[in-house]
Structure 1
Amino acid sequence: MPSEINELLRCKKLIEQKLDWGPGESWQSIDFENLSQLILDDTGVSLSVSTLRRIWGRVEYNHLPSVTTLNTLAKFAGYEDWRNFIKTKTTAQKEISEPANQNNRAAKNGSAIKLAWLFGSLLIIGTISIFAFDNGDALLKPEDFSFSSQPITRGIPNSVVFTYDASQAPDDSVFIQQSWDNNKRTLVDKNQHKHTSIYYEPGLFIAKLIIGNQVIREHKLLVPTDGWLGTIDDKEIPVYLKNSDFIRDGILSLPIPVISQKNIPMQPKPPVVTYSNVGNFDPVSLNDFSFTSEIKNEFREGAAVCQLTRITLFTDSIPIVIPLSVKGCVSELNLLSVDHYVSGKKADLSAFGVDFSNWVEVSCKSNSSNIQYFVNKKIAIEFPLPKNNVRIIGIAYTFQGTGAVRKIRLSSQDEMVFEAF
């Protein structure tokens, strides 16, 4: 066990070096969310934010990660899998102990490792489709199986009833996976036809029916909110807010005394507050849209000195994530525009550094070829439109500490689709 823990520490250090976000001990919640997305993009496997927080010691957990999680971390670090990661270190140690006349060979292996580091992600993406379902058996036919889902209610939390037919599975290795997160995979009886799962957060998920290592069926599953949902992040299950807690005086705002009444401390680690509205308006195509709102982070004490804030536009694909902070903390920001990711460590995101003592207007809109992002009416950055027709299905605002939102407007082809406050 100690040697395995040491290897996990070594793998985490490699990932930290690759990301160049600073020590993992200083990461914020948004960093773990961005890391989860990067791992998914890089390896085709999703590790949940809660799993990554456990691995980096933010949540007490006295067990080693699963083999799937270890393999995924190793792949993201630039190795074929966990076994290859361990073997590479062993090989390197062996070569160091060999006679000096074999130093050239060690140098070549070192160069090979560096090349694997640089090109590993591309190789994984290129080969994942070849090997993802190769379990040594003939591929099963999707048409021999069925899989559907239905939420029980509208709102969060929400249980979803999955209906499936996997009676033709060759063995009992039949699983239903709630989303892209492998940790939310449950073994089910192939001779039964119903299974329920609970969702604690809203969004668009990819539910999967898996037999062995093969994804047989999958579909998009929208878990909506019933109007606005206010939450405070609290490990596995959020703290849910009453509408009267955060909807007041014509704006979205959660006062610090209300947070304190729920026995949630503001220090030393500030809470993460989110206001979400998902699935309550007609989907809006990114090909011709306009979005704007005004936002203010209302807490800047202790560890919340950066006032990290983000606006998320949920889509039926990868979301849009617009980050904000005080001017001195823009290095900590990470921006996501569906299929484009920008780290403040490697790009100039200074336009997203703001003064939260005043309301900040954040907007974005598309033209015939690009999506443009504005802060206080000044263009901050732009990206090409996604090739596919991606549609906005929800909005969320997240604050380190707490914050306020007003004047939310979302339109399509110059017609208002959603308006609040």
Structure 2
Amino acid sequence: MIQYLVAQVEEQLGWGSGTNWSNKDFEELSDRIFESTKKRLSVTTLKRIWGRAELIANPSSATLDILSEFIGHRNWREFKGSYRSQPLKNAIQKRLKVPHLTVFLLLVLVSVALFTIFWDKDSVITKTTAIISETDFKFRSRTVSNEIPNSVVFEYDASTASDSAVIEIQQDWDKRKRIAIERTDSIATCIYYLPGFFKSKLVVDGVIVKEEDVFIKTQDWLGVIHRDTSPIYLKNEEIKKNGQLSIAPEVLAAYNIDPRTSNVKVGLYQVRDFGEISTNDFELSMQLKNTLQDGLSGCQEAKVFILYDGGAFGIPLSKKGCVSNLNLLIFDQYIDGKKNDLSGFGVDFEDFAELQCISRDNKFEILVNGVQVYEGEAPETPLKIKGVSIQFEGSGTIGNMELKNSSESFYLNHKGER
């Protein structure tokens, strides 16, 4: 049935067999799925489904639900119930059958034609073979300090690409954050204004040929006021007051920022190596409160991000009347509050909200004020947790916080201590 689902996605796209897709094709599919369903499947997850990366023996039902929804079904169960065994058998046979002689003859004819037309060293053949193997390229990185902001030096070798190839470095998951580099150079630098765990990429003619982890750490808690340009970095004494971690309205006022006339986002970051704690066995418990009373939107939004190797959880809270604006990000799944009931994430910030995220025994759940508001499957493959950030609309405070697994505690914060 999974093979049949894959075949139906391929048929809808009209791109041919996924065995021949490039990384760019999988990126395009991820974007199309998001545009259609408002739920995100990562390129890595899609490649595993298609057998182009380490194969998932039993993909999560959530992943199969999203793919089923993409081709017009409500969920995976409805998709399975819509087809009988004979069409299924024929479709899989059609997808897996390879007409060897026909393909061979076509390849010969195309190769002769291209060889006849393009003879110089910059030919289409040269350009194509230059980007086939990622082993032809080198890409590594190093940070230059332990501070924020932090510059990263990228060392690369893209000399095997054609003279006319467009070569870029992408700083993280966002395709818009690409800088053009020269094929004949070997060094490029980028500046990172915020901490986090990023997957930088070497991109040749739109195809990702290499990836490199970039880990920008904090020394302690870092407080920032976000701006379109570089953020405002707050002093330690500005975020630790009255025995709590907070970014208070009076701090904004000191920087001539008025959340009543403009949308203001602030953040508190703790990004570092916590130790051997991973996504398949952890619990984060936290008290948080949005303290903005007269903001422009009136929604008092807050969002907790748990960063892990290759991704992040994004867990939102707001006033109850604003839950339609929320969105939830869990294991590459984007859940839109305009298409899903996220009313459980609505709270009254007159007092601290109690948030718990628990991942154990392949089960992931979120509790708000002791009530379960989300339950799903967690992947078996452990991914190391790299950090926590909390972002508030306007201003906010963090109370007690603990990060632990089933056997030990890795971080304990009581009223801003440590």
TM-score band, normalised by shorter chain? 0.5 to 0.7
Assess, with a 3 A threshold, how the Cα gap between structure 1 residues 42 and 305 changes in structure 2: closer, same or farther: farther
Instruction: Say which of 137, 147, 156 aligns to 2:128.
Output: 137
Matched, 1:308 2:291: no
Amino acid at match of 1:187: A
**Structure 2 equivalent of residue 151 of structure 1:** 143
Q: CA deviation at 1:77?
A: 7.0
Q: Percent identity?
A: 34
Q: In the TM superposition, what are the counterparts of 1:177-196 in structure 2 within 5 Å? A: 177-196=170-189
- Is the Cα contact below 8 Å between 1:135 and 1:212 reproduced in 2? no
Quote the residue 1:244 is aligned against: 237
- Bigger helix fraction: 1
Aligned in 2, Cα 1:177/1:266: closer, same or farther, shift over 3 Å?
same
Supply the distance in 2 between the matched residues of 1:382 and 1:74 (Cα, whole angstroms).
22
Would the aligned equivalents of 2:286 and 2:355 in 1 still touch at CA under 8 Å? yes
Contact 1:228 1:277 in 2 (8 A): yes
Contact 1:178 1:184 in 2 (8 A): yes
- Given the alignment of the two structures, is residue 281 of structure 1 paired with residue 243 of structure 2, yes or no? no
Q: Aligned in 2, Cα 1:231/1:283: closer, same or farther, shift over 3 Å?
A: farther
In 1: Cα distance, 2:379 partner to 2:189 partner: 34
Give me the whole-angstrom Cα distance separating, in 1, the residues matched to 2:185 and 2:206. Answer: 20
SS of corresponding position for 2:322: helix
Alpha-carbon separation, structure 1, partners of 2:276 and 2:186? 32
1:105-124 alignment, distance < 5 Å: 119=71
1:136 deviates by 7.1
Matched residue, 2:259: 266
- CA-CA distance at 1:165 after TM superposition: 1.7
SS at the partner of 1:319?
strand
For residues 367 and 74 of structure 1, what CA distance do their matches in structure 2 show? Answer: 28
How many Å apart are 1:385 and its aligned residue? 0.6
Change (3 A) 1:171 1:140: farther
2:247 counterpart letter in structure 1 = L
Aligned in 2, Cα 1:367/1:216: closer, same or farther, shift over 3 Å?
A: closer
**How many positions carry a matched residue from both structures?**
307
- 1:334 alignment counterpart: 327
2:132 and 2:354 map into 1 onto residues whose CA distance is: 52
Q: What is the TM-score when the length of structure 2 is the normalising length?
A: 0.67
Cα distance per residue 1:344-372 (max 9 Å; x no partner): 22222222111111111101112212111
* TM-score of the pair, normalised by structure 1: 0.67
CA contact (8 A) 1:299 1:403 kept: yes
Match of 2:411 in 1: 418
Q: Tell me how far apart the structure 2 counterparts of residues 270 and 213 of structure 1 sit (CA, whole Å).
A: 35
Unaligned segments of structure 1, at least 5 residues: 1-40, 48-71, 79-116, 121-133
Change (3 A) 1:164 1:118: closer
Select 1:208's aligned residue among 182, 185, 201: 201
Kindly tell me: are residues 380 and 135 of structure 1, through their superposed partners in 2, closer, same or farther at Cα, counting changes over 3 Å? farther
Change (3 A) 1:198 1:333: same
Does 2:389 correspond to 1:396?
yes
Rounded Cα–Cα distance in structure 2 between residues aligned with 1:200 and 1:385: 31
- Which structure has the larger Rg? 2
Partner of 2:342: 349
Q: Distance in 1 between matches of 2:183 and 2:25?
A: 32
What is the CA RMSD across the aligned residues, in angstroms? 3.0
1:270, distance to aligned residue in structure 2 (A): 3.5
Inter-partner Cα distance in structure 1 for 2:290 and 2:241: 16
Matching residue of 1:161:
153
Q: CA deviation at 1:411?
A: 0.4
Displacement of 1:191 after TM fit? 2.5
Secondary structure of residue in 2 paired with 1:153:
coil
Structure 2 SS opposite 1:260 = helix
What residue number does 1:221 align with? 214
Shift in Å, 1:43 = 7.0
Letter in 2 for 1:326: K
* Structure 2 counterpart of 1:44, from 27, 30, 45: 27
How far did 1:216 drift? 2.1
After TM superposition, the structure 1 stretch with the greater mean CA deviation from structure 2, 405-414 or 387-396, is 387-396
- Pick from 337, 349, 365 the counterpart of residue 372 of structure 1: 365
Amino acid at match of 2:249: I
Matched ranges for 1:66-145 at <5 A: 76=35, 119=71, 137-138=128-129, 139-145=131-137
